[in-house]
Structure 1
Amino acid sequence: MVRLNRQAYPEVTLTIDFGGSGTKAIAQIRGGKPIAIWMEPSVIEASKISLAFQTRNLGNAYPENTAWVGIGEDYRAVGYLARSTYSATSGLKPRKYELGLYKTLAAVWVIKQKFKLTESFDISLALLLPPGEFEDSALLKPILRDALAEFDSPTGKVNANLIGYECFPEGGGIYAMYCKNTGEAIRRKVIALVMLGYRNASVMISRRGILNRGKTANLGMVKMVDLVIDRTSGLSTEELIKAIANAGNEPKPQHFHHLCNSSNHQDAEIEKVILAVHSSRAEYAIALTNWLKEVLPSSNELDEVIICGGTADYLREELDTVFPITPIVWHGSVEIPSNLNEKWLGSRLADVWALSVYHSIKVRAGIKLQNASEVTSNG
C-alpha cells in the first residue's frame, strides 16, 4: 500500500471565476474544508503610499474589503477598496485575463489572511475564462507564476509557489461534473452548454463527448442594465442591478423606491423605471434568444441543453421558449453545499464550485501518481 505524502500537497488549492459582477472563488487549505470567497470586480491603479495608508483598517475589516497588491512598481487596489476609496468601475471592457492577474493575487492574499498562513506557501490554481478568451490562458500562466513568486500586499511580501495550473472555459466546471455524473452516456449525446453571465453569453457544443471551442457574445445581463440606464436618469448601476434581481418577473414600486429620491415626483420616477425595466428586458431577451438560435444546432439535433450562470435564472421564462422540445438541465444539476452559500450567491457559484471539485480530484490524483513513482524508483 502506498502511503500518501501529505506534505506533497499544495498548501492552497484555489479555483476562481472572474465574473463581471464579482470575483467568485473556492479555496481549500491542506487538510481543511473548502470556503467560498466573493470580491467586487473593481481593479484600479493607486500609489503605494496611498495604499499603505489603508492598512490602518486591517484589524477592523474583512481582508476581502482591504485588498491591494503590488508587482514591482505596479500597485492596484482590488475589490471593495478599489470601488469605495478610489471610485473604480466594474472594469468590463478589458479582457478578463488582463485584470485576472491582480484579482488572483488579491484572492491569494485574502486566503493567507483568513487562514493565517506564512508568507511562503505552495498553491495550485484552476481558472475560468470566457470561451472567446480561452486562448489567453497560455499568456496568463507565466505572468501569474512570476507575480505569485513575490508580490506586495497590505501585510508585506507574499511568496506563493505555483505548482499546479489549469484553465477552463466558463461552463467548464459544470460540464466536467455533468460528464462525471452522466458517465458513458455523454459519448452518445449532442449537448449545448449555455453560460449566461453578467458581461458575456457563451455557447459550447459537446458532440459525443467532444467539446468545441465555443462562441462568446457581449450579451450578458449588463446589456439590459445599460438599456434601463439609458431610458432613465440618475440611477446607480450597482443599486439598479440589485433591484432588478430582487424584482424578478414582477417588478413593483417597492423594489425601486430607494432608487428614486425626488420628493415631488417620486411616484412618476418609479413608474418610469418600471416601464424601462419591462421594455429593456423584452429587448434584451429578444437579442439574446436570437443569438442563441443562430449559434445553436437545431432542436432536432440536440439531446439536452445545460443552461447556467447568474442571468439564466432571471430569464428562465424566455429561455424556456427557445427550447420547446429539448430537455433543459438548469445549472447542470450542480448542488452547492449550504456552508458555501453564506453570501447568498446560489447558482452563481455552480461553475466555480464544480470546477473546484474537479481540480481537487486532479491534485489528489497527481500526488498519488507522484508517490507511486517515488516508491517504484526507490524500490
Structure 2
Amino acid sequence: MTDIYLSVDVGGSQTKIIYQVDDQTKPSYLLLSPEIEEITKDKLNFFMERLGWIGSPSPDQQLWVEWNNRVVVLGEFAANFDPLDRIKELKYENALWKVLGAVGLIIELSKVKVTAKKQIYLELALLLPWNEYSDRRRFEEQLRVMLADFRVRQQYLKVNLERFLCRPEGGGLAALRIKQQGVDWLRNQQLAVLMFGHRNTTALYFDRGQLKLGDSPLLGFANMLDIVLDMTSGLDRERLSNAIFDARYAVIDGIYNQNRNHSTRPDWISFGQIQALASAKDPSLRQKEISQIADAIRVATSQYWDKLQRWMDKILPRPLNEVIIGGGAAYHVEVELEKYFNCAWELQKIDKYSSVYERTGEYIPKDDKLPMIPMVWGSGFITQVQETFDLDSEQTYRYSTSARLVDCFGMFDYLLGMETSQ
C-alpha cells in the first residue's frame, strides 16, 4: 500500500512539492527555496550547537539530508552556509537530494508512522527540463539507492519507490489539457506548451497526438534580472524579482474600457515595491535611483523578450491550434505574448449601466487581418489549483503561487490517475 504520493518540480526559483499521504482526502503543497549546499557533518554540528537550539523553527526552515556520510542542507537553511549560485547547474543531480528532503519533510509534517523495520512506500512524479529528460533513468537508479537508507533531520528512513514517473517541464500542463479535452481532440491538434521559468524556458510541440520536439534553453527570468543588476547597484535577484511581480500582479486584472482590451504593463516608477528597492537617503538621489531602476527594468524586459522571440521563431512550428502558457515569468511578458500570438481579451460590461469592462477569459484576434493562436493559461486549471489549496484569499499571492504550482499539480493529478486506473 502506498504511503505517500508525491509530485516534485525542482524549479530555479522554488522547489514545488505536492503530496498526499494515505490517510488524507486531498493533497497539500510545500514551497522551498531552491538553495542547496553540501557541508561537513562537523559544520552542521557546530551550527546546531551554536545557534540551532534558539527558538523553534519549523522543519522546512531547518532541513538537511544525510546519505553515505554526506550532508546536504536545503532551502532556507542552506542560507546559513554561504550556498553557491547553482542557477546554471544541471537540475537532476540536485533534485536527488531535494526529493529525499521532501520525503522526510512530509513524513515529519504529516506524522507518518515510522519504525526501524517499516519501509515507506512512495509513488513519485518528477518534472525535469527537456535538456535533462534523457537523464531520467540515471536519476531513477541513483534515487532508488539513496532512498534505501538515508536520514532527514533526526529521522532515519527506508523508502521503497513503487512507481516513478518523469516528464519534461510542461508535461503536467499537457496532461491536464489532454484530460480536459480528450485524446481524440489531441489527435486533431497541433499544440505547443511554453513554460517560462526562472532558470529555463521550455517548449514542447505535439503534432496530432505525438510529441515531435522539445527544447529547454537557459532563457529563464533570471537572465532578465541579471541585466537589471548589471545596470544598477545594491540589488539582488530575490528582492528585485519580488518587487517586479508585486507590481505586475497589482495591475493584472486592471480596469478595461472599450478601447483597451489588452494586458497592461505597470508604471514601474510609481509602484511602492519598486521605490523600496532604492537605498539612497537624499530625496534627490533617491528619485534618480528609482528612475534608474525603472529604466533598467524596461531595457532588460526588452532584451529578455527579444531573446525569447527569436528562440520561439526558430522552435515553434506553424500553424498551431493553441499554445498552453505556464510558469510565473510568463506574466511578466504577457503584453508581448498577446502581440506575438495576436491575442486580445474579449471584454464584457460589469453591468449594463457601466462603461467599465472585465475580461471574459476568452481571446479574440488583436488584428483581424492576421491569424490568432489562442493562449490557454495554466491549461485552464489555475482556478482549480487555487481552490484545491485555498489560494484565493489574496490576489498577488493567488496568481504567483497557483501559476507556479499548476505544472506540478498536473503531474500529481496524472500520478493519481494512473493509480486509480489500476
TM-score of the pair, normalised by structure 2: 0.81
For 1:178 and 1:311, how far apart are their aligned partners in 2? 20
> 1:90 and 1:361, CA in 2 relative to 1: closer, same or farther beyond 3 A?
farther
Which of 312, 315, 330 in structure 2 is aligned with 1:295? Answer: 315
Q: What's the Cα RMSD here?
A: 1.7
Partners of 2:155 and 2:21 in 1: how far apart?
Answer: 21
Helix, strand or coil: the match of 2:187? helix
Between the two proteins, the alignment pairs up a number of residues equal to: 355
Query: Structure 1: which 5+ residue stretches go unaligned?
Result: 1-7, 367-379
After superposition, the C-alpha distances for 1:223-254 in whole angstroms (9 at most, x for unaligned) are 10010001011112111110111122211342
Per-residue displacement from partner, 1:279-305 (whole Å, max 9, x unpaired)?
Answer: 11111111111211111112xx21111
CA drift of 1:71 comes to: 1.2
Classify 1:78/1:234 alpha carbon distance in 2 versus 1 (closer, same or farther; 3 Å).
same
Aligned AA (2:413): V
Residue aligning to 2:195: 195
Distance in 2, Cα, partners of 1:272 & 1:304: 38
In 1, Cα distance between equivalents of 2:315 and 2:137: 26
Alignment of 1:228-377 (within 5 A): 228-248=228-248, 249-250=265-266, 251-253=268-270, 254-264=272-282, 265-298=285-318, 301-324=319-342, 325-334=372-381, 335-340=384-389, 342=391, 344=398, 345-366=401-422
Contact 1:54 1:66 in 2 (8 A): no
Q: Unaligned regions of 5+ residues in structure 2, if any?
A: 249-264, 343-371, 392-396
Kept in 2: contact 1:20–1:90 (CA 8 A): no
C-alpha change, 1:341 and 1:281, in structure 2 (3 Å) is farther
Specify the code of the residue in structure 2 equivalent to 1:332.
Answer: S
Matched ranges for 1:1-379 at <5 A: 8=1, 10-32=2-24, 33-52=26-45, 53-54=47-48, 56-57=52-53, 60-83=56-79, 85-119=80-114, 120-183=119-182, 184-248=184-248, 249-250=265-266, 251-253=268-270, 254-264=272-282, 265-298=285-318, 301-324=319-342, 325-334=372-381, 335-340=384-389, 342=391, 344=398, 345-366=401-422
TM-score by length of 1: 0.90
Query: Does the aligned pair in 1 maintain the 2:19–2:27 contact within 8 Å?
Result: yes
Distance 1:241 1:57, change over 3 A: farther
Q: How far has the Cα of 1:59 moved from its partner?
A: 7.6
Structure-2 separation of matches of 1:64 and 1:341? 20
Give yes or no for contact 1:131–1:213 (8 Å, CA) kept in 2. no
Q: Is the 8 A contact 2:9 2:15 kept in 1?
A: yes
Query: In structure 2, what is the Cα distance between the partners aligned to 1:353 and 1:57?
Result: 36
Identical pairs, percent: 31
**Structure 2 residue identity aligned to 1:252:** I
CA distance in 1, matches of 2:335, 2:280: 34
Displacement of 1:364 after TM fit?
A: 2.9
Query: Which letter does structure 1 place at the counterpart of 2:48?
Result: Q
CA deviations on 1:296-354 (whole Å, 9 max, x unpaired) are 112xx211111111111221110111112111111111131434255741211110011
SS at match of 1:336: helix
Moved more, 353-362 or 331-340: 331-340
